[in-house]
Structure 1
Amino acid sequence: MNIFQHIARFDPRFAPTCVFDIGANIGQTVGQIRRAWPSVLVHAFEPISSTFAKLEENTADDAALVRHRLAFGSRACRAVMHAEPQGLLNRIVGTGSRKPPGRGPTEEVEVVMGDAFCAAQGITDIGMLKVDTEGHDLEVLVGFREMLAARRITYVEVECAIAPDNAMHVPLSRLSDFLFAFGYGLYNLYPGIRRNLNTNKPERGMWYGNAVFVAEAWPDNAEYA
């Protein structure tokens, strides 16, 4: 049972009309979403051109999927990303067009803010926002701060660091502090593979995971009730 199926099973009244898959890669998560909600409208975002092409190929028969070659952040800009074709660890490594030091292919991508994107698309509510951006997740959430403040996003899934030596992902405590301030509660914590992605060595404890937060109900006299 994947994360989306777990939510669908234990929150049967939740019927999302729109799901965002930020960091869609070649469509792995889209397939998981479909097993939970076969016909829900999904917006899938993948900024790397070669990976985006494979996403289009793999999901060509999905009529309820909208694909976007975009990245998300706390402000609109151009950014440089690692760009291994279909790579699972591609991440933003700098803003602007200057190539950072280091090895491996890079690609300049367009970065948008979530609030601005939703306003332009006429999207007022998101049932579930899934973010998998290899350490950039908090920056993505900052770009959705207006929708989060209004609790117009019901569930938020983010990848997070659990072990103190995990410098690849945002610590769970930072993500929690940010979302708790907007009235979200921690719904569940799903462990990642028990392997240190920096050293590729197995871990006995949890090195990283996927945290899911849920918007708490507004009080009866709240402004957004």
Structure 2
Amino acid sequence: MHTLKRAAVELAYKLGYVVKRKSAFGDNPFLDMKQFVPGDTKPLILDIGANIGQSVTRFKATFPSCVIHSFEPSLETFRKLSQNVSNQEGVSPWNLAVGAAVGPKTFSENTHSDMSSFLELSSTGWGKIINKSTVDMVTIDKFMEDQKIPSVDILKSDTQGYDFEVFKGAEQAMKNNKIGLIYFEFIFSEMYKHLPAFDEVFRYLIDRNFVLVSIYEFAHQNRVASWSDALFVNKEYNKKSA
């Protein structure tokens, strides 16, 4: 039987296919997160860069009892987010940006709302800037303090190249092992100017007691990696869920 399976896998490979077990660990970030989050809890999730609520839908499908704080700096996009999550129990939308410091920040809104960013578009980006507005920015550390949040199960960040700044604003939470999982989009291409290198972000998280779980679904532009999603877990959080 094993010989037959091996022959089938080798044949599939020759034909250009890779055979994997259905829902194998490392394939689906939301199913992988479920392996770490205790099943008898109401996980608390920070949804940074919520856009119109796409992640809320996926998190609620995976963790029905979860509590989500969703952040979206664009006022127009925030209105759509608020409308889309209005019937979702345990979801709080915030018209705030999240970064490394508290205060006002200039935000560039794109014709494609999911391309809006605090960074300037570069060679492989798309759309065009239709508005620049000053938005209020908060750090994760300050938000957790203000809202009396003792710990975060999942920090999701999709801020179009600004995720490293989001992490810097969670320095105390990371130092005290108060964040369990970090799920974020990393951009490899020159989609925006002044993007951090992957090794810089990787080292930052490793130095703060996180380890890489998996990298998911590479997107490519011009035959090279452009962006992908990554999941990291805090070592202490991993021990608790083992």
Structure 1 counterpart of 2:149, from 118, 123, 129: 123
Query: Which residue matches 1:150?
Result: 176
Q: How many equivalent pairs are there?
A: 203
Distance 1:170 1:3 in 2: 23
Q: Measured at CA, do residues 85 and 108 of structure 1 come closer, stay the same or move farther in structure 2, by a change above 3 Å?
A: farther
| Distance in 2 of aligned mates of 1:74 and 1:103 | 23
Amino acid at match of 2:207: A
Q: Please state whether the residue corresponding to 1:193 is helix, strand or coil.
A: strand
In structure 2, the residue matched to 1:97 is none
Alignment of 1:94-173 (within 5 A): 103-162=129-188, 169-173=195-199
Structure 1 residue 16: Cα displacement: 5.4
Give the deviation of 1:190 after TM superposition: 1.0
Structure with larger RCO (C-alpha < 8 A, sep 6+) = 2
Whole-angstrom distance in 1 between the partners of 2:117 and 2:219? 19
Q: 2:92 aligns with which of 48, 66, 72?
A: 66
Larger radius of gyration: 2
Which residue of 1 is the match for residue 4 of structure 2?
Answer: none
- Taking a change above 3 Å as real, the CA distance of residues 160 and 184 of structure 1, as seen in their structure-2 partners, is same
Shift of 1:28: 0.4
- Is 2:192 the counterpart of 1:209? no
Q: Structure 1 residue 77 and structure 2 residue 103: aligned?
A: yes
1:127-170 CA-to-partner distances (Å, cap 9, x unmatched) read 0000111111111100000000111100011221345x565653
The answer as to 2:55 corresponding to 1:29 is yes
Secondary structure in structure 2 of the residue aligned to 1:210: strand
Structure 1 pair 161–115 and aligned structure 2 pair: CA distance change class (3 A): same
Structure 2 unaligned regions, length at least 5: 1-22, 121-127
Residue pair 1:79, 1:93 contacting (<8 A) in 2 also: no
Percent identical residues: 24
SS where residue 214 of structure 1 aligns? strand
Quick check: which one's helix share is greater? 2
Residue number among 34, 43, 51 corresponding to 2:69 in the alignment: 43
| Aligned mates of 2:42, 2:214 — CA distance in 1 | 18
Which residue number corresponds to residue 36 of structure 2? 11
Match of residue 99 from structure 1:
none
Q: 1:12 to 1:18 in 2, by over 3 A?
A: closer
Residues 13-52 of structure 1: CA distance to partner in whole angstroms, max 9, x if unpaired?
4655200100000000111111110120000000100000
Q: What RMSD in Å do the two structures reach over aligned CA positions?
A: 2.4
